[in-house]
Structure 1
Amino acid sequence: MQGAPALLLASDWVPGRSPAGFLVAEKFDGVRAFWDGRQLRTRSGQVLGAPAWFLERLPADQPLDGELWLGHGRFDDTSALLRRQRVDDAAWRTLRYQLFELPDAPGPFAERAELLRALVQRLGWAQLQAAEQRRIGDAAALQARLAEVVQAGGEGLMLHRADAPYVTGRSELLYKLKPQQDAEATVVGYTAGRGRHAGRVGALRVRDDTGREFLLGSGLSDAQREDPPPVGALVTYTHRGETSRGLPRFATFLRVRDEP
């Protein structure tokens, strides 16, 4: 596996804040994929076994950042498709590559978004799409847009500073807004189960990118307790803010996120 590509990562949006100065797009619940001009790679650096015809339609001289997406509510289907040992050609023809960034391109994000839209239009391939970017005037209109997206089956919104240069790492230039907060952490160990969970995993011990360690027990299925995500796996969990000690409140396991 190659090294993980350097990508821009989102922070959580503060409710009530004005979205003025940001471009707002739907948050697609797919598998993030970075195109380096030769290969499609996941956030962790795994090379995706895409069909040759799919890769040949991507620009050889322009890196791309986006989500491979089958549609609303189909993350598990997308993940399963990308994990298959044998390429499912027919299924790949239903997959869309929803693009939201032109890595290393000059200028502010608003200009890069226009360049991305023009690139997709020029290539004229229905499976390659540029995420629609909107300017939204105030907090009330932002909540209305969030409700509209969620009602249609979407996951939430992404807010990117219109004047932001291209940077990588976790940044306050990019935010995510969802009805329920979520975040990611890496599995570093396990605790033993008790009672009806005796003999299997009771909770995952995880560490986030700030170095905080905590347990994720709620949300694990019996099958996941029998065969838990391996140490080193990146998992997504939901929470409701933070405790007085600065740890996620009501942290609940959602799914393994790192690999498709």
Structure 2
Amino acid sequence: MDGYRAFWDGQKLYTKSGNLFSVPNQFTQSFPRDVCLDGELWTDYANFSNLSSIYRKSNELDENQELESWQNVKFCVFDTPMHPGCYPERHSFASDSISGCGPNICMIPIQQCLGVDHLQANLQQVHTKKGEGLMLYHPTSPYISGRTNNLLKVKLYEEEDVKFISC
């Protein structure tokens, strides 16, 4: 996926750095209350610039235009931070929690990795769709906020974090 990481606290959506996401109230009105969810705001593969444009222009639009612009945005859930248990249990709880919550919230499916060949085949499928990569969760890990070796992002290419000092 290539979207905006988002956290639902049961009432509002937040960025991964803890800032409030400004989204139309109608977008989250069907989300489950009193359940924390971890996921990503997403529109489609290779469409991050469109999502970014929707988010940036939201405040410039009237309510109907804003709602229309958010029509194809989804909150794609992959975990529930406050639920105890290992990853498959948390994923199942999150899936049950959003069942019937409407078209703008969905669960990211999971599958067990059966080895390197299986991983490479799935990674190639995602790459063909212009996806960013795959997330590998350790199945017995508890939820850990921030970077952890129990959750790894696998891509077909290496990337590095850089810091621009000046241009």
Q: TM-score, normalised by structure 2?
A: 0.89
Instruction: Pick from 94, 115, 121 the counterpart of residue 116 of structure 1.
Output: 94
Name the counterpart of 1:86: 60
Q: Which runs of 4+ in 1 moved over 3 A?
A: none
Distance 1:125 1:183 in 2: 38
After the TM superposition, which residues 1-260 of structure 1 pair with which residues of structure 2 at under 5 Å, given as runs?
A: 28-84=1-57, 85-86=59-60, 88-121=66-99, 123-184=100-161, 187=163, 190-191=165-166, 201=167
Letter in 2 for 1:74: N
Bigger drift between 100-109 and 39-48 goes to 39-48
Secondary structure class of the residue paired with 1:53: helix
C-alpha distance in 2 between matches for 1:110 and 1:182: 29
Q: How many Å apart are 1:183 and its aligned residue?
A: 4.7
Mapped to 1, the partners of 2:98 and 2:8 lie a distance apart of: 14
Contact 2:40 2:77 in 1 (8 A): yes
Tell me how large the CA RMSD over aligned residues is. 1.6
**Matches of 1:32 and 1:47 in 2, distance apart?**
12
Q: Which amino acid aligns with 2:19?
A: Q
Q: 1:148: Cα distance to partner?
A: 1.1
Give 1:117 deviation, angstroms. 1.7
What count of residue pairs does the alignment treat as equivalent? Answer: 162
Q: Which amino acid aligns with 1:158?
A: M
Relative to the length of structure 1, the TM-score reads 0.59
- SS of the residue corresponding to residue 67 of structure 1 reads strand
In the alignment, the residues of structure 2 paired with residue 67 and residue 183 of structure 1 have an alpha-carbon distance, to the nearest angstrom, of: 22
Cα contact 2:11–2:34 (8 A) shared by 1: no
Between the aligned partners of 2:34 and 2:160, the Cα distance in structure 1 is: 33
Shift of 1:61: 0.4
- What's the CA shift for 1:184? 4.3
The secondary structure found in structure 1 opposite 2:148 is strand
Calculate percent identity across the aligned residue pairs: 31
Task: Please state which structure has a larger fraction of its residues in helix.
Answer: 2
Of Structure 1 and Structure 2, the greater strand share is in: 1
